[in-house]
């Protein structure tokens, strides 16, 4: 078994300003990504990653540290049998060993809102304590939502299923499926269901790299035949380290690869970050819809949110709805802070999304992610993992 060590320098630019210096959270957790490799961060620091390979099927591996995500993704026909290793955060003077391969990659992206440009030790802003403190929804025509009967395509949806699990290791899912679970669906960033559960699976096209586009038609149809009601399009195409597609190319390929399933399943837009500017987040998706010229089959908008407090989180949902007037899925999000702080923030947004009619346009959401160290700790749901799966 071969071992390679990669040293990655990741930088993020917020509104044209680069944040320098080491990040303040030393905790890193390793997890696998099934289909691809992704990389994203909100601060500048060095990370040393140890990747085990079996010679034919490299192991997709990744790191998550509160608001800092490092998702290294590439194609893998099967997960590696080797045990993942948690890589420590090194100082800026760290260098790869002489026997390793050194790679320095800089990603410049405004993939977080200005609120992320704060000292990481600063506690999150106080969440709203009741629905009365939340901004009213924009005055828009109502949109069809997943109400348990059907949707605007006439496809039976199988129930209003808000909470879902984003995972890589299917063995961890059972911790969230006990009596009283509120979880009803799942996804793994890939095209095939390996969950081993009865949860509704949502396959993801992800991008047009490698053979994803070639395998998608057959895999999407297979998933639909097995009970999938919804399909995800491209993953964060505005980011170079993700699907990396112009809005025009994304529109062209969405029409080619997603439209054929219109009427068979509900189709999500390309998933976008909460980055700011015309080429990120909402700005990117506006360009995508302009390029679609009304030809893209899109039944709901797919979004990711990181690095913000609960007030900004909820305000961003309203901004997305105001921009596109379509149902919204939040398929990746996470909060900063201690477990207690994260749990408090999660309780706030769950209450608002599920009990405040202002946010009735939010159909489904999944926290990032089912892995040891975040939603799982010591083999059982963490405090906020338990809240996500079981809180009413």
pLDDT at 71: 39
Q: For residues 198 and 74, state if they share a domain.
A: no
Taking the C-alpha atoms of residue 275 and residue 15, their distance in angstroms, rounded to an integer, is: 9
- pLDDT at residue number 7: 32
Give the range of the structural domain holding residue 375, as residue numbers without chain letter: 131-390
User: Is there a domain that residue 113 lies in?
Assistant: no
Instruction: Quick: pLDDT tens for 225-273.
Output: 999 999 999 999 999 999 999 999 999 999 999 999 999 999 999 999 9
Report how far apart the first and last C-alpha atoms of the chain are (Å, whole number): 47
The dihedral built from the CA positions of residue 198, 234, 146 and 226, taken in this order, carries a sign that is: negative
| Structural contact between residues 361 and 324, judged by C-beta atoms closer than 8 angstroms | no
pTM, two decimals, is 0.68
Q: What is the 3-state secondary structure (H, E, C) of 242-280?
A: CCCCCHHHHHHHHHHHCHHHECCEEEECCEECCCCCCCC
Give the residue-averaged pLDDT of 51-62.
33
How do 204-206 and 200-201 pair as beta strands?
Answer: unpaired
- Same domain assignment for residues 297 and 184: yes
What pLDDT, on the 0 to 100 scale, is given for residue 14? 35
Q: Is residue 122 part of a domain?
A: no
Same-domain pairing of 162 and 259: yes
The domain boundary residue, chosen from 68, 93, 108? 108
Q: Is residue 116 part of a domain?
A: no
In a domain, 20, yes or no: yes
Claim to verify: residue 139 and residue 104 sit in the same structural domain? no
Q: What is the pLDDT of residues 333-384, one digit of tens each?
A: 999 999 999 999 999 999 999 999 999 999 999 999 999 999 999 999 999 9
How many structural domains comprise the chain?
A: 2
Q: Are residues 48 and 145 in the same domain?
A: no
- CA 210 – CA 54 distance, rounded (Å): 19
The confidence band for 85, taking pLDDT boundaries of 50, 70 and 90, is: very low
Same domain for 175 and 89, yes or no, is no
């Amino acid at each position: 078994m071969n071992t390679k060590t990669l040293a990655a320098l990741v930088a993020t630019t917020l509104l044209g300003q680069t944040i320098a210096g080491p990040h303040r959270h030393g905790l890193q957790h390793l997890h696998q990504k099934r289909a691809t490799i992704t990389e994203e961060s909100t601060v500048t620091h060095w990370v040393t990653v140890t990747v085990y390979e079996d010679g034919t099927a490299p192991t997709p591996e990744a790191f998550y540290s509160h608001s800092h995500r490092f998702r290294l993704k590439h194609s893998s026909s099967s997960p590696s049998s080797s045990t993942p290793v948690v890589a420590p955060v090194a100082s800026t003077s760290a260098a790869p060993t002489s026997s390793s391969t050194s790679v320095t990659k800089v990603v410049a992206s405004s993939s977080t809102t200005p609120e992320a440009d704060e000292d990481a030790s600063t506690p999150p802003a106080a969440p709203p304590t009741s629905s009365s403190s939340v901004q009213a929804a924009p005055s828009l025509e109502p949109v069809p939502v997943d109400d348990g009967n059907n949707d605007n395509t006439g496809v039976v949806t199988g129930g209003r299923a808000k909470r879902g699990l984003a995972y890589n290791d299917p063995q961890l899912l059972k911790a969230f499926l006990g009596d009283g679970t509120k979880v009803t669906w799942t996804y793994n960033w890939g095209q095939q269901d390996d969950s081993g559960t009865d949860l509704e699976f949502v396959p993801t096209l992800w991008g047009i790299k490698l053979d994803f586009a070639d395998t998608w038609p057959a895999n999407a149809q297979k998933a639909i035949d097995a009970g999938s009601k919804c399909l995800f399009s491209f993953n964060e195409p505005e980011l170079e380290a993700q699907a990396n597609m112009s809005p025009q190319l994304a529109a062209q390929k969405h029409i080619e690869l997603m439209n054929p399933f219109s009427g068979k399943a509900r189709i999500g837009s390309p998933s976008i970050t909460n980055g700011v500017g015309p080429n990120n987040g909402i700005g990117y998706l506006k360009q995508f819809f302009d390029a679609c010229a009304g030809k893209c089959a899109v039944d709901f908008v797919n979004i990711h949110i990181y690095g913000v407090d609960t007030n900004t989180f909820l305000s961003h949902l309203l901004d997305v709805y105001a921009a596109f007037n379509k149902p919204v899925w939040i398929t990746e999000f996470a909060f900063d802070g201690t477990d207690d702080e994260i749990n408090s923030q999660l309780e706030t947004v769950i209450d608002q999304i599920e009990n405040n009619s202002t946010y009735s346009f939010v159909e489904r959401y999944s926290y990032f992610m089912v892995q040891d160290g975040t939603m799982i700790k010591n083999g059982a749901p963490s405090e906020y993992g338990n809240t996500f799966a079981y809180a009413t």
